[in-house]
Chain A
Amino acid sequence: MYAYDELDRTLINERVSEFRDQVRRRLSGELSEDEFKMLRLQNGVYLQLHAYMFRVAIPYGTLSSKQLRQLAHVARRYDRGYGHFTTRQNIQFNWIKLTDLPDALADLAEVGIHAMQTSGNNTRNVTSDQWAGVAPGEIEDPRIWSELLRQYTTLHPEFSFLPRKFKFAITASEHDRAAIKVHDIGLRLHKNAQGETGFEVLVGGGLGRTPFIGKTIKPFVAGRDLLSYVEAILRVYNQYGRRDNIYKARIKILVHELGIEKFAKEVEQEWLQIRDGALALDDAVIEEVRSRFTYPVYENLPNLPEELKKAAHDPKFEAWRKNSVFPHKVPGYAIVTLSLKPVGGPPGDATAEQMDAIADLAEKYSFGEIRVGHEQNLALPHVAKRDLPMLWRALDRIGVATPNINLVSDIIACPGLDYCSLANARSIPIAQEITRRFANHETANLIGRLHINISGCINACGHHHVGHIGILGVEKNGEEFYQITIGGRADEHAVVGTLIGPAVRYGEVADVIEDIVEAYLALRANPDELFIDTVKRLGVEPFRERVYATR
């Protein structure tokens, strides 16, 4: 965990007081709605269909038990008793009152949580691998750099009014769990031929109506140069990114229009002028930030404790363990993913009671630490394997032990037309219906890894382009229709999915998904060939035939 110091605390308190003043001026009429809109967005406040929505940052997906309890408190005190975890390591509250917002922010500030730049045309919450610091084989903990970037991007005096939103993601593992290739800037920690650690920098990835996979702008940037290199990219973008058309304003369009070589050249020119300036990070500064991350003192524990052997006789426990428990870098410990995707439930939602209970369990079993992943699930990052059976029973009691991690019912979905004023179609009920169709765990297990992502409009908050199966809601003559893509993925092999055919009606979506899955089961070369690999091998045609033959 990163421990805020007095300076961090002072800054977020100053931000709360500024926002309180902005709300006061709006309520007194001193600020027009147009002026206030940008100011509230800078602080994560959207106006949705029914009420204000409040988006709170969980930088690089790390939470303490105390912080999670405070999120539960905000859900209970100012909202309707639940929160929604998003694909960018944020949590959203859907029913908050404008007049309550400054107090909610002040409550969150007490535990070092803020909502700065969770929306608006600025640098957004810096996201990272939810297994950072505990994943086996990681180069180093990417959260040190995430935190340096969090500080660097917070209230940046030059880049708070960019052409459009701007998102960073960082990974330090070979397997990319942070979806860095679909971010404006993606950073991959790796070692170069000389054995030095640095970053491969990708730029111009993003989803929305024009999806692009990020391109490598520089294969190796040393840690010392990270901030100056980022500043060079942002400066070029701030000056030359399009501002005439909101749909062409993301950096991906600038990179696409200029071409990556020309864009890289512009950035290089700018960077050479600033690389030895005040942004250069010397080792002492990096160590200072590193020193404020604390790590658990792990015990020397057996990798296969008696408790685990005994519990293996319980098939329900085994199903969960095989599905939701992942290897930890320390023997005797495990990473446990908590499914926020119960059968028939809205993906990513957690009630205040669940949050409180998870905070308690984290204290008991995970050194008081919780992680939030972009798949809209939570994780306990440091669980002793001997505690797994006890933990499982407790998680099961509060409904977050559905053994469906990475399976067909582990669906990513945006709030859709149930909440969002931008949406064209509903997302949540589609997800709920699909989870009911695939509620049988044996069937889901037989199907294997399969990511379904659902967005209720072209803005792609549900990352439909990079779902193994992507579902996009559109509106045709006042009716909800859904376009289906297959073959997308968001990991180190990121690619945008391919449309299989004409859009289908709301009532047909779950049937179509069943057809696609059945086609896959019939077509796969062997039971180990994942859905995504079958699509890669055969293309979309056999799936298209299966879906549209009878429609």
Chain B
Amino acid sequence: MPLVKNGQISDDPFVHVADGAELPADGAILIPAARFLEDPETLLRRAGKTGVVWPNNRDIDDLVPYLDRLAAVALVFPSFRDGRAYSQARLLRERHRYRGELRATGQVLRDQFVFMLRAGFDTFEVKKESDAEAFAATAKRYSVFYQPTGDGRITALNRRMQLRHSESAGQ
């Protein structure tokens, strides 16, 4: 499965460690939330980077105490129809000021890229090679946005207000 990070197809430095599988001594890992919460302090002291795969039906408040020490948070789209992780992503970025890697995992298709970028995701485990290759073009598909989110893109309403101001300044 191709990984898109910073807008480009990249090698994935993280290894997904399943429940019950042995933990590697070093190297970057992504581990399931339940396993992480069993002993977060030990895990966060590991030599390698640690990230957590957070399910979309678990309150992210439980993760908040560890955010500044996590290298990555992966939010899950069990199906692209299930949009809970968009809310989690915005809360992590906009309310809890999480600045680390925010990864989308699960059924990630090209048609969600813009929504995901706007919600604060920066890394994508893309299901299909062709979608990963189309990332750069797809991300540029829209130039007008109606809603303010934490991604900093200016909204249509604000652009209009700016236009008004510049018009009146020019008069």
Q: Which residues of B contact A14 (CB under 8 A)?
A: 141-144
Q: Which residues of A contact B45 (CB under 8 A)?
A: none
Q: Are A7 and B86 in contact (CB under 8 A)?
A: no
- Nearest chain A CB to B158's CB is how many angstroms away? 8
B19 interface hit (Cβ, 8 Å): no
Instruction: Report A11-47 residues with CB < 8 Å from chain B CB.
Output: 11, 14, 17-18, 22, 30, 35, 38-39
Q: Are B115 and A160 in contact (CB under 8 A)?
A: yes
> Contacts A17-B141, A30-B130, A273-B95; is A159 near B156 (CB within 8 Å)?
no
Q: Are A239 and B141 in contact (CB under 8 A)?
A: no
Q: Which residues of A contact B161 (CB under 8 A)?
A: 284-285, 288
- Nearest chain A CB to B143's CB is how many angstroms away? 6
- Nearest chain B CB to A266's CB is how many angstroms away? 12
Q: Which residues of B contact A273 (CB under 8 A)?
A: 95
Q: Are A157 and B156 in contact (CB under 8 A)?
A: no
Cα distance A238–B57 in the bound complex, in angstroms: 11
The residue that B82 contacts in the complex, of A7, A243, A284, A288, with Cβ under 8 A, is A243
Chain B residue nearest in CB terms to A292: B160
B49 interface hit (Cβ, 8 Å): no
A247 interface hit (Cβ, 8 Å): no
Chain A residue nearest in CB terms to B144: A11
- Nearest chain A CB to B126's CB is how many angstroms away? 13
Cα distance A159–B157 in the bound complex, in angstroms: 19
- Nearest chain A CB to B71's CB is how many angstroms away? 25
> Contacts A5-B160, A151-B156; is A39 near B111 (CB within 8 Å)?
yes
B149 interface hit (Cβ, 8 Å): yes
Q: Which residues of B contact A162 (CB under 8 A)?
A: 83
- Nearest chain B CB to A211's CB is how many angstroms away? 25
B9 interface hit (Cβ, 8 Å): no
Cα distance A98–B141 in the bound complex, in angstroms: 22
Chain A residue nearest in CB terms to B128: A30
Q: Are A158 and B81 in contact (CB under 8 A)?
A: no
Q: Are A7 and B83 in contact (CB under 8 A)?
A: no
Cα distance A277–B148 in the bound complex, in angstroms: 9
The residue that B87 contacts in the complex, of A238, A278, A285, with Cβ under 8 A, is A238
**In the complex, number of A-B residue pairs with CB atoms less than 8 Å apart:** 92
Q: Are B111 and A22 in contact (CB under 8 A)?
A: yes
Q: Are B144 and A239 in contact (CB under 8 A)?
A: no
Cα distance A243–B87 in the bound complex, in angstroms: 15
> Contacts A14-B141, A14-B142, A158-B119; is A152 near B83 (CB within 8 Å)?
no
Q: Are A285 and B90 in contact (CB under 8 A)?
A: no
Cα distance A162–B84 in the bound complex, in angstroms: 8
A161 interface hit (Cβ, 8 Å): yes
Question: Size band of the A side of the interface?
Answer: 35 or more
Instruction: Report B13-51 residues with CB < 8 Å from chain A CB.
Output: none
B80 interface hit (Cβ, 8 Å): yes
Q: Which residues of A contact B149 (CB under 8 A)?
A: 157-158
Cα distance A457–B148 in the bound complex, in angstroms: 39
The residue that A161 contacts in the complex, of B81, B147, B155, B156, with Cβ under 8 A, is B81
B103 interface hit (Cβ, 8 Å): no
- Nearest chain B CB to A288's CB is how many angstroms away? 6
The residue that B115 contacts in the complex, of A22, A157, A277, A288, with Cβ under 8 A, is A157
Q: Which residues of A contact B84 (CB under 8 A)?
A: 238-239, 243
Q: Which residues of A contact B97 (CB under 8 A)?
A: none
- Nearest chain B CB to A3's CB is how many angstroms away? 12
The residue that A7 contacts in the complex, of B87, B95, B111, B144, with Cβ under 8 A, is B144
> Contacts A7-B159, A22-B111, A159-B83; is A152 near B146 (CB within 8 Å)?
yes
Cα distance A5–B146 in the bound complex, in angstroms: 13
B114 interface hit (Cβ, 8 Å): yes
Cα distance A156–B147 in the bound complex, in angstroms: 7
Q: Are B81 and A10 in contact (CB under 8 A)?
A: no
A8 interface hit (Cβ, 8 Å): yes
Cα distance A159–B119 in the bound complex, in angstroms: 10
Cα distance A219–B35 in the bound complex, in angstroms: 45
Q: Are B143 and A158 in contact (CB under 8 A)?
A: no
Q: Are B86 and A161 in contact (CB under 8 A)?
A: yes
A121 interface hit (Cβ, 8 Å): yes
Q: Are A11 and B118 in contact (CB under 8 A)?
A: no
Q: Are B142 and A155 in contact (CB under 8 A)?
A: yes
Instruction: Report A156-203 residues with CB < 8 Å from chain B CB.
Output: 156-162
Which residues of A are interface residues toward B (Cβ below 8 A)?
5, 7-8, 10-11, 14, 17-18, 22, 30, 35, 38-39, 121, 151-152, 154-162, 235, 238-239, 243, 273, 277-279, 284-285, 288-289
Supply 19 A–B pairs (Cβ within 8 Å), ascending by A: A7-B160, A10-B144, A11-B144, A11-B156, A17-B141, A18-B142, A30-B130, A35-B109, A39-B111, A151-B146, A152-B147, A157-B118, A158-B87, A160-B115, A161-B81, A161-B86, A278-B148, A279-B148, A284-B161
Sorted nearest first, the 4 A-B pairs with minimum C-beta distance are A161-B83, A278-B148, A157-B118, A11-B144
Which residues of B are interface residues toward A (Cβ below 8 A)?
80-84, 86-88, 90, 95, 109, 111, 114-116, 118-119, 130, 141-149, 155-157, 159-161, 164
Please name 14 further chain A to chain B contacts, defined as beta carbons within 8 Å, in addition to the given A8-B144, A273-B95, sorted by A numbering.
A5-B160, A7-B160, A10-B143, A14-B144, A18-B111, A35-B80, A121-B81, A157-B115, A157-B118, A157-B147, A158-B86, A235-B87, A243-B82, A278-B155
